[in-house]
Structure 1
Amino acid sequence: MRNRLITALAFLVGATAVASAHHGWGSYDSAKKFSIEAPVEMIAWQNPHAHVMLKYDNATWEITLAPISRMQNRGLTEDMLKTGTIIIAEGYPSTRRAHEMRAERVTVAGKVYEMR
């Protein structure tokens, strides 16, 4: 019985740590939706979210995309976001970091990919 309790507690602590490591979307202003159309400057194709850098309004914006598996399931691959590829990112600005956006959708070569 004691081993079961210790195992259950260890699982609970581990699950709590994993859940708290992932963030919510409350730090983005959903009342200020906007779009950026620009060539990809840089891409970081990694979990938990991919990121692309785009020049917009005399600044470099970091665009937070969906998890890799979601984008791949919807047909968006890393090769499609190579440096120089013009994309349109539509989403919400961060309330914590200047020049950061959470993308709701991305358009590449005329095709729209939902990030939600």
Structure 2
Amino acid sequence: MKRRDVLRVSLVLPVAGAASWAQAHHGWSSFDQERPIYLEGRVLKSQWRNPHAELELEVSAALRLPDDLAQRALPAQTAPVDGKALLARAVVPNRKDRRWEIELAPLTRLQAWGVPEIEAGDVVALLGFTFTGEKGDAVLRVEYLFAGGKAYGLRSSPA
């Protein structure tokens, strides 16, 4: 490979990588934070990496809100989010997708909370937000993760 070609490749690859990262990462402003969505299902795929961990979740066609959702205990550190109000307003999605892309928090925050690495086959429950109007891909940005009998607040860090 000629020196000019090596230089061209070394300049193009980082830009291409950044473009794919930007496409995969979604900021909070894209999500409808007025309509908390509840999902529960089996993890099909887990990617435990930065900028945030991601799951592929398969939900039941008969997905419904659990009777005890509004009474679930939440970590005290998440009080500024008003999780109890979110749990009380939670709904199941209007869309009927069975597979969802799940965006969790960055690994440093997951580690600070002591969230065990979630693997394919695990069953989890989630409360979060979809794109405004549930348009676009079936993506959920997670506010609360319920796994292993515990609740984790993923937007904040533990005290």
Q: TM-score range by the shorter chain?
A: 0.7 to 0.9
Higher RCO structure, 1 or 2 (CA under 8 Å, sep 6+): 2
Determine the structure 1 residue equivalent to 2:53: 50
Residue-by-residue CA offset, 1:13-34 (whole Å, 9 max, x unaligned)? xxxxxxxx67531000112211
Could you tell me which runs of 5 or more consecutive residues in structure 2 were left unpaired when the two chains were aligned: 1-21, 60-95
1:72 counterpart residue number? 111
Residue 77 of structure 1 deviates from its aligned partner by: 2.7
For 1:97 and 1:72, locate their aligned partners in 2 and report how far apart those are by CA, in whole Å. 30
Task: Report SS of the residue matched to 1:26.
Answer: helix
Q: 1:50 Cα deviation (Å)?
A: 0.6
2:131 pairs, out of 91, 94, 105, with 94
Question: What is the CA-CA distance between 1:42 and the residue it aligns to?
Answer: 0.6
1:58 offset after TM fit, Å? 4.2
Structure 1 or 2: larger helix share? 2
**Sequence identity, in percent?**
36
Match runs of 1:1-116 below 5 Å: 24-56=27-59, 57-78=96-117, 81-95=118-132, 97-116=136-155
- 1:97: Cα distance to partner? 3.0
Q: How far apart are the structure 2 equivalents of 1:52 and 1:113?
A: 16
Q: Size of the alignment, in residue pairs?
A: 95
Deviation for aligned residue 1:109: 1.6
TM-score (norm 2): 0.55
2:83 alignment partner in structure 1: none
RMSD between superposed Cα atoms in Å: 1.9
Question: Are the aligned partners of 2:97 and 2:138 in contact in 1 as well (CA < 8 Å)?
Answer: no
Point out where structure 1 has 5 or more consecutive residues left out of the alignment.
Answer: 1-20
